[in-house]
Amino acid sequence: MTSKPVNLRQFRKRKQREDKARQAEANRVEFGTPKALREPVQLERERLLREVEAKKLEGNTSPDGEAPSTEN
């Protein structure tokens, strides 16, 4: 009528694994997308910004195409 002995080392390791899994789940929720999905999006965004910057006209022109007035 004795109970089965418990290996405390295995118990501690199992508890640590469970705690790490809980923390990992919380981090996944908190920090969102994985790096593998985030990097290509960031690279595409940077490429598009460079493309837009390259296509900008030089000089100070207003959106209607006229030079800004310097009158005060």
Whether the per-residue pLDDT at 5 is higher than 90: the answer is no
pLDDT of residue 24: 94
**Residue, of 67 and 8, whose pLDDT is higher:** 8
Would you give the distance in Å from CA 19 to the centre of its chain? 24
Residue 63: CB atoms within 10 Å: 5
pLDDT of residue 66: 64
At 11-62, the pLDDT tens digits run 999 999 999 999 999 988 788 878 888 889 899 999 999 999 999 887 666 6
pTM assigned to the model: 0.41
**CB-based contact 46:39 (threshold 8 Å):** no
CA gap 38, 1 in Å, rounded: 58
Q: What share of the chain is helix, strand, coil (3-state, %, to 5)?
A: 60, 0, 40
